[in-house]
């Protein structure tokens, strides 16, 4: 029921995802009066779906604390998460309030052992291909242990998404030199080098422009910097497309040039279109939760479902536990961190 549109986008998006994953089944939580009319337009989806009615929905304006008080146990968001907890669903996908989703998921599903708080991880287009960036704003700040945990979880996610047994991992920093950056970043780098985790290849520090260059399969940063980097990149893409449209309209010669280069422009648009990279995974939980962008269209929501499907298919939680080296105790439990949720 969340997002800018709600069921009118979620249901068609689920139908698109079903066409790509015919073995999928869906539990649809929310107001049946809004869901059923949309579902009636997609017979194939209806045949493999079950609607669980609730008229309680978390609004996009609710603070996480408000959502927990008002929507716990009865909201569509909570019930979807609870279905994962009970084993009735493999993945929960929501386009709703991000802060509320992270807070509810943490409260309902609990954290993996050795992980003190969740992180938002998303796919980022690069010059080479794609990379995973985390944390994009689930929580703010982080000590060295938190950054190492992010590296381990991001490495597990990249190994699933990119089918790489040992993905490269870099720490986002203001320079590549070992003496630069905050103390916690330098300490995290030293820890990752000394631990030499077999499931990931730590390459050192990466500067901001290294994300787009594709210098690593995984870029790790705390949530404040990660969210700023994400919004800056999204703004840069929109600015570039606006400037390009203005330049094309400036003269008839430019319009002729556009017609001659339409194929190249189409490739560029597909490469940087945000809906093709929709679906942030909330990592660190005892369950798989995927956050779709609230303003995404049906195709974008389907991409978020695709991400969740792949996470379940390749057993992401097992890979994360393996990377955290549970038996060897590579990551000792961290002290309780601040409870800031974006």
C-beta separation of 157 from 132 below 8 A: yes
- Higher-pLDDT residue of 164 and 17 is 17
C-beta separation of 135 from 222 below 8 A: yes
Angle of CA points 286, 291, 292, to nearest 5°? 155
The pLDDT, as a whole number, for residue 40 is 94
- Alpha helix (H) ranges present in 86-182? 98-109, 144-161
C-beta separation of 189 from 312 below 8 A: no
Radius of gyration of the chain (CA): 21
The residue among 94, 112, 115 whose CA lies nearest residue 104 is: 94
How would residue 272 be classed by pLDDT, with cut points 50, 70 and 90? low
pLDDT, mean of residues 53-77? 84
At 48, list the tokens. Answer: 């493999």
Distance between CA 336 and CA 304 in Å, rounded?
31
C-beta separation of 297 from 273 below 8 A: no
pTM of the model: 0.84
Distance between CA 9 and CA 97 in Å, rounded?
16
**Four-residue CA torsion sign, 14, 15, 20, 21:** positive
The pLDDT, as a whole number, for residue 141 is 87
How would residue 288 be classed by pLDDT, with cut points 50, 70 and 90? very high
State the angle between helix axes of 64-71 and 76-85 in degrees (0 to 180), rounded to the nearest 10. 80
Residue 160 has pLDDT above 60, yes or no: yes
Output the CA torsion 88→93→99→103 (10° steps): 10
State the angle between helix axes of 252-260 and 262-272 in degrees (0 to 180), rounded to the nearest 10. 80
Domains and CATH numbers, the chain: 7-116+278-314 (3.40.718.10)
């Amino acid at each position: 029921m969340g997002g800018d549109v709600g069921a009118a986008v979620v249901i068609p998006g689920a139908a698109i995802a079903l066409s790509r994953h015919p073995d999928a089944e869906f539990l649809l939580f929310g107001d049946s009066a809004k869901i059923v009319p949309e579902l009636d337009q997609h017979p194939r989806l209806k045949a493999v779906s079950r609607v669980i009615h609730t008229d309680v929905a978390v609004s996009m304006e609710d603070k996480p604390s408000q959502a927990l008080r008002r929507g716990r146990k009865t909201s569509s968001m909570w019930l979807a998460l609870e279905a994962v907890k009970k084993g009735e669903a493999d993945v929960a996908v929501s386009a709703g309030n991000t802060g509320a989703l992270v807070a509810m998921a943490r409260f309902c599903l609990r954290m993996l052992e050795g992980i003190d708080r969740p992180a938002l991880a998303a796919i980022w287009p690069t010059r080479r291909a794609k990379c995973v960036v985390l944390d994009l704003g689930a929580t703010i700040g982080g000590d060295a242990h938190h950054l190492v945990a992010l590296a381990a979880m991001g490495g597990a996610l990249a190994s699933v998404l990119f089918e790489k047994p040992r993905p490269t991992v870099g720490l986002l920093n203001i320079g590549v030199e070992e003496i630069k950056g905050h103390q916690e970043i330098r300490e995290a780098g030293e820890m990752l080098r000394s631990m030499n985790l077999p499931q990931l290849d730590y390459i050192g520090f990466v500067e901001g422009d290294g994300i787009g260059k594709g210098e690593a399969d995984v870029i790790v940063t705390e949530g404040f910097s990660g969210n700023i980097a994400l919004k800056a990149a999204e703004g840069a893409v929109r600015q570039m497309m606006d400037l390009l449209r203005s330049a094309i309209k400036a003269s008839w010669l430019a319009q002729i040039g556009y017609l001659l280069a339409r194929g190249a422009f189409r490739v560029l648009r597909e490469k940087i279109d945000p809906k093709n990279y929709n679906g942030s995974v909330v990592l660190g939980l005892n369950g798989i939760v995927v956050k779709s962008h609230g303003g995404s269209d049906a195709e974008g929501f389907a991409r978020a479902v695709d991400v969740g499907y792949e996470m379940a298919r390749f057993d992401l939680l097992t890979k994360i536990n393996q990377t955290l080296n549970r038996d060897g105790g590579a990551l000792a439990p961290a002290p309780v961190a601040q409870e800031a949720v974006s």
